[in-house]
Amino acid sequence: MKDILSLNHQQLQDEMVRCGEKSFRGKQIYDWLHVKLVADFSLMTNLPESLRGFLKSNYRIAKLKLVEQQESKSDGTIKYLFELGDGNLIESVLMPYRHGMSVCISSQVGCRMGCKFCASGIGGLERNLTTGEMLAQVYQMGRLTKERVSNVVVMGMGEPLDNYEHFLAFVKILTDEKGLNMSGRNITVSTCGLVPEILALAKEKLQITLALSLHGTTSKKREKLMPITKRYPLEEVLAACDAYTNTTGRRVTYEYSLIAGVNDTDEDAKELVALLKNRNCHLNLIPVNPVKESEFSSPKGKVTLNFKNKLEKNQINVTIRREMGADIEGACGQLRRKFTQK
């Protein structure tokens, strides 16, 4: 059955006309799905009973079954393990901040990028998520907490730009004024650096934030952590990010996972300054989350703070990401892996 949650406003009207209904029925259904966040056709009370029955027989609303929920005792972060309609598992995370509720969603079941410090890619890629399955994560966390989601980060399991068409449709529905009407500035997409997709996204001129997983200051260093660098050298990736800023007017966020003894030296700090000093960007330092299958660990003592200070002395706009969910297997893919290995 067709995933009706993946259809945008015009597509849903066209779909209803194709089925012999008036186009306004599509508008009504869209409002139920994307404003009222209803996930059951029988609750769409302004639709004729016959139409509700037809929808139930011919369409599905992407649904997520809650399998496990872990809440951090230290910061209130909630990690959800959801089961998709085909039995695959994905993770989503809700993070409470003073400015509102942020959620981090997955874009794929697994990942094929193979980054050495990430649990999501262990076992490779199962499949892409549909637009509806991505939206369902945002809507479901809103329903579970009875809170309006104010910020969305596509930084969970998977490489979003490796699922480009579904991701793009997801953003357009999420920011649609006829739906949740979320500001594009409240959406962040994280990528390991797929150059053609970054350039394509720039041409869309959306106001979303692009976050590049950098993690290494040269192609040689980055390649040891992120195999995708063999296909797209760091220089090409940075040029694509510059193009994104020039086209959209939006500064890029560079994410740098600090790994003890790997990329946290004085030399790394100097090279990072050289890379970023002339760029309109923000640097996010992330002490790496420990993953059981990886030998990597976060720097000890004041190494992270000292690293930050060296960058700031050279006028780099930098913050240390607040560590959240460390006591609930905060790294992407850990909870899913625990269940799939049972």
- pTM score of the predicted model: 0.93
Contact call for residues 91 and 336 (beta carbons, < 8 A): yes
For residue 341, what pLDDT is reported? Answer: 53
Cα–Cα nearest to 190, from 166, 208, 172: 208
91 tagged catalytic: yes
Distance, CA of 202 to CA of 224 (rounded, Å): 28
Residue 22's contacts (CB-CB under 8 Å, 6 or more residues apart) are 16
pLDDT tens profile 245-264: 999 999 999 999 999 999 99
Residue 208: helix, strand or coil by DSSP? coil
Instruction: Indicate the pairing of strand 125-128 with strand 108-110.
Output: antiparallel
* Residue for token pair 């960058």: 311
State the Cα–Cα distance between residues 115 and 279, nearest whole angstrom: 25
Is 332 among the residues known to form the active site? Answer: yes
pLDDT value at residue 297: 87
Does pLDDT of 335 surpass 70? no
- The mean pLDDT of the chain is 93
The per-residue pLDDT for range 46-91, each reduced to its tens digit, is 999 999 999 999 999 998 999 999 998 888 899 999 999 999 999 9
pLDDT at 333 over 80: no
End-to-end Cα, the chain, rounded Å: 31
Q: Which domains does the chain have, with CATH numbers?
A: 2-60 (1.10.150.530), 65-340 (3.20.20.70)
> What share of the chain in percent tops pLDDT 90?
83
Of 15, 21, 91, 255, the active-site residue reads 91
Query: Does the structure show a pLDDT above 90 at 327?
Result: no
Q: Which one of 104, 111, 192, 332 is the catalytic residue? A: 332
Mean pLDDT for the stretch of residues 146-166:
96
* Strand arrangement of the beta sheet that strand 281-287 belongs to: 65-71, 78-83, 89-97, 100-105, 149-154, 187-191, 209-213, 252-258, 281-287, 318-320
258 sits in which H/E element: strand 252-258
Taking the C-alpha atoms of residue 8 and residue 14, their distance in angstroms, rounded to an integer, is: 10
Rounded distance between C-alpha atoms, residue 144 and residue 132, angstroms? 18
Q: What is the pLDDT of residue 32?
A: 98
